[in-house]
């Protein structure tokens, strides 16, 4: 029995290896529909269960996505270039991210929610405040062509954004400028980037296929004496190309 299981796993891996080679070689291009389980089982001379095990390997690798009705398709993605150097300031009309999307001939949109809450341990550490201290939380769910692309959440100490547009539930261009006008100019920023698998909530909200990693980009903006804002952006790895431009 154990030998049969080992043989099945080995056969599933060989099926995955063959289909992977077809994807990378272009025989199965992005967006192509894979043959049905019946067709693959006949082609490789194995059971449907073994075929499914092989396809599951490709799903975990992020090469294949499942759709309703049991159809499987080669992942097709049109990544955007996200310039992290300039995204801190934005443009006169909308933030730099949205401008980049429009310049690529695609349609950006976002939904915004603003709440007051007690700072979590993590947020408190970023902002150098006590856990539970009240902060203003702004969440932006950004989409491109109607598809979720980024989940960006900002936190500010209440005293920093009180009576400013940043405390209101509406779009605000150049948040750094708003802070400066309120007497809290941003002096420098610190970036922290982690690449990891998404949490279940992130996977659901960003509609992520299994096996899709995310980049977690945290930008902490410092005033004269302490942090005045933190922005945490969750960006699916199959939808973004991160770019920095630095003087040397």
Q: What is the pLDDT of residues 194-246, one digit of tens each?
A: 999 999 999 999 988 777 899 999 999 999 999 999 999 999 988 888 888 88
CATH, residue 196: 3.40.1410.10
What is the per-residue pLDDT across 165-203, written as a single tens digit (0 to 9) for each? 998 888 887 777 888 888 899 999 999 999 999 999 999
Position 89 scores a pLDDT of 47
pLDDT of residue 126 exceeding 90, the answer is yes
Using alpha carbons, select from 114, 101, 86, 187 the residue that is nearest to residue 144: 101
- Axis-axis angle for helices 2-25, 48-60 (nearest 10): 50
Last residue of a domain, one of 28, 46, 74: 74
End-of-domain residue from the set 56, 74, 92: 74
Note down the domain range covering 26: 2-74
180 and 199 in a single domain? The answer is yes
Task: List, as one string, the DSSP characters of 97-156.
Answer: HHHHHHHTT--EEEEEEEEEEEPPHHHHHHHT--TT-EEEEEEEEEEETTEEEEEEEEEE
The residues, any chain, with a CB within 8 Å of residue 191's CB and separated by 6 or more, are 84, 217, 218, 219, 220
Instruction: Choose between 9 and 245: higher pLDDT.
Output: 245
Q: What is the mean pLDDT of residues 48-66?
A: 86
Residue 67 has pLDDT above 90, yes or no: no
State how far the Cα of 152 lies from the Cα of 232, in Å rounded to an integer.
6
pLDDT at 233: 94
User: Could you give the number of structural domains in the chain?
Assistant: 2
The CATH code of the domain that includes 54 is 1.10.10.10
* Residue 248 covered by a domain: no
For the chain, the average pLDDT equals: 86
């Amino acid at each position: 029995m154990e030998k049969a299981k080992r043989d099945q796993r080995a056969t599933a891996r060989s099926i995955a290896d063959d289909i992977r080679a077809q994807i990378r070689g272009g025989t199965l291009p992005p967006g192509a529909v894979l043959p049905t389980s019946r067709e693959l089982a006949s082609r490789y001379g194995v059971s449907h269960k073994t075929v499914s095990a092989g396809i599951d390997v490709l799903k975990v690798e992020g090469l294949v996505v499942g759709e309703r009705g049991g159809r499987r398709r080669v992942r097709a993605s049109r990544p955007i270039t996200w310039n992290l150097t300039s995204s801190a300031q934005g443009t006169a009309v909308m933030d730099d991210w949205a401008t980049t999307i429009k310049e690529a001939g695609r349609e950006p949109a976002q939904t915004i929610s603003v709440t007051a809450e007690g700072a979590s341990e993590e947020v408190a550490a970023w902002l150098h405040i006590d856990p539970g201290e009240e902060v203003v939380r702004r969440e932006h769910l950004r989409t491109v062509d109607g598809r979720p692309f980024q989940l960006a959440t900002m936190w500010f100490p209440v005293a920093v954004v009180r009576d400013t547009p940043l405390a209101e539930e509406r779009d605000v261009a150049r948040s750094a400028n708003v802070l400066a006008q309120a007497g809290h100019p941003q002096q420098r920023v610190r970036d922290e980037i982690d690449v990891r698998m998404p949490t279940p909530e992130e996977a659901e909200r960003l509609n992520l296929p299994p096996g899709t990693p995310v980049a977690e980009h945290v930008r902490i903006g410092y005033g004269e004496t302490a942090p005045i804002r933190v922005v945490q952006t969750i960006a699916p790895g199959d939808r973004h190309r991160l770019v920095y431009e630095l003087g040397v």
